[in-house]
Structures are given as C-alpha cells and as structure tokens.
Structure 1
Amino acid sequence: MILRKYMSLLGIGSAKIDLILQKDTYKPGEMVHGYFLIKGGTIEQQLKRIECDLVMVDSEADEERIMDTVTILTSTLIESQAANQISLTFRLSDSARPSSETLSYRFKTRLVFSEGVESIDQDAIKIV
C-alpha cells in the first residue's frame, strides 16, 4: 500500500483526466459543451482543482497564448478505480480568429491534487 502511494505521488498509477467535447469544430462566440472524465488511479487521491485553459498556438509568430481559463475548485476525494464526470460549458470569444495552417487552438486541462503529480490532457479544436 505504501509503495502504491509513493508511486502515485510520482505520477505512476495516479488519477487521470480527459476532456470529452461534443464536437471539435466551432464558430467564434459559440458555446462549447462537454465534460471532464476523471478516472481514479491505484489509490484514492484528494483533488484540489481542475484547470482548463483555451490556448491559441501561432506557429508563424512562434507564440502560444492562453485565451481564457476555467478553474473548478474542489475538495473531492477520487476513489481508487472510480470514474467521475464534471460538466463543462465554455463560451468562445466572438473575436477568436479562424484556425489555419499556422493558427491552432487546444484545451489544456490539468487535474491538481493536494499531493502528487498533476494529470494533464490536451484536446485540439478548430474554429471556422
């Protein structure tokens, strides 16, 4: 049991997060609907917060910029091997530029625990 606890503190066997979106193509100003799927690891872990950033990547200017952030503060205990869902509703900016060969968008999601390594997920979206 102690070995599993220390392994999860290093990120081995810890809880994981996955952002599930209803679709992957949106228009500026559109609502994004989905949910965070949290899967418990080998031991129970205390969740502190979920952070989800909308990141714009401009490869031409070699720039990565956070456009908006959603933070969910919580003190939920993630049970071993359990699965939890938390809803997400997010409004894209009316001024979001369309995706192109050099401009892309992604949601970068982090699951932050009171102890242990963060779990990170990235999901690309396209703005038309």
Structure 2
Amino acid sequence: MMLLKYALKMGIGHIKAKIVFDHDAFEPGDMIEGRLELTGGMVPLKVKRYDIDLVDINRDLKENIINSHSVICSFVLNANEKKEVPFRLEIPGQIESTKCMAAARIVWENDQVLTAESLLQLTVKE
C-alpha cells in the first residue's frame, strides 16, 4: 500500500486524458465538437471539475485563451475505466492567427490537477 501511495505522489498510475476532435481543420466561426477521453489509473479517483481551453497562438508565440469550456461535476473514475466527455467550443469569427491549440485540465479530489501536456494543434483555414 505504501508503494502505491508513493507511486501516485510521483504521478505514476494517475488518470490519463486525451482531447479528440471530430474534424482536423476549422474556419473562423466554426463550432468545434469533440470529446475528452479519460482513462482511470491504478485507483478510483473522484473528478470534481474539468476545463478545456481553446488557445490562440500568434506569430510572437504569445498565447491567448479565446474560448473555454468548464464543467463542475462529481463522478468517480474507477481503475482502468474509460469515459468520454463531449464538449463544444466556438472559434470566434475574428481571430488573429491561423494556429490554435486545445488544453485540458482535470481537477480531482484533494484538488490535485492533471493537465494534458500533449496539446493538439488545430489548423484554422483562412
């Protein structure tokens, strides 16, 4: 049991998150539809909240959050359980750059946070 607690503190065996979109390319003004795929870790954890942000990346590599989807929830993700959470984000009609990325942040019990570090980049058609 002590080894399990140590592994969890080191980030081993936690929930895994992946953002999946229904399409690869979008135009300004489009609605992005997709899902957040969650896979349980070694022990059940209670998810309290998740956020998905659409981030505009301009030529100077400055990032601006242009849309966000936040849900306060309460569900338990059991060990190795897979769950899909659908979401929708709108790309504004006026956007500065042609590149965007999505970032997910999941908060579970004890206010621990998981962020999807492998951010998916969207190509915005002009």
Indicate the residue corresponding to 1:127 in structure 2: 124
Give the deviation of 1:97 after TM superposition: 3.8
Q: Secondary structure at the match of 1:84?
A: strand
Gaps of 5+ in 2: none
What TM-score, normalized by structure 2, do the two folds share? 0.87
Q: Which moved more, 1:113-122 or 1:76-85?
A: 113-122
Q: Distance in 1 between matches of 2:33 and 2:96?
A: 20
Q: Distance in 1 between matches of 2:74 and 2:57?
A: 32
CA contact (8 A) 2:15 2:40 kept: yes
Q: Which moved more, 1:113-122 or 1:17-26?
A: 113-122
Deviations 1:20-48 (A, max 9, x none): 10112001111111111100001111111
Report matched runs for 1:19-30 at 5 Å.
19-30=19-30
Moved over 4 A (4+): none
Task: Give the counterpart letter for 2:3 in structure 1.
Answer: L
Give the deviation of 1:16 after TM superposition: 1.0
1:49/1:41 CA distance change after superposition, 3 Å: same
Q: Distance in 2 between matches of 1:97 and 1:117?
A: 30
User: Which of 114, 118, 122 is residue 118 of structure 1 equivalent to?
Assistant: 114
State the aligned residue count: 123
Q: Distance in 2 between matches of 1:73 and 1:67?
A: 20
What TM-score, normalized by structure 1, do the two folds share? 0.86
Identity of aligned residues (%): 21
Gaps of 5+ in 1: none
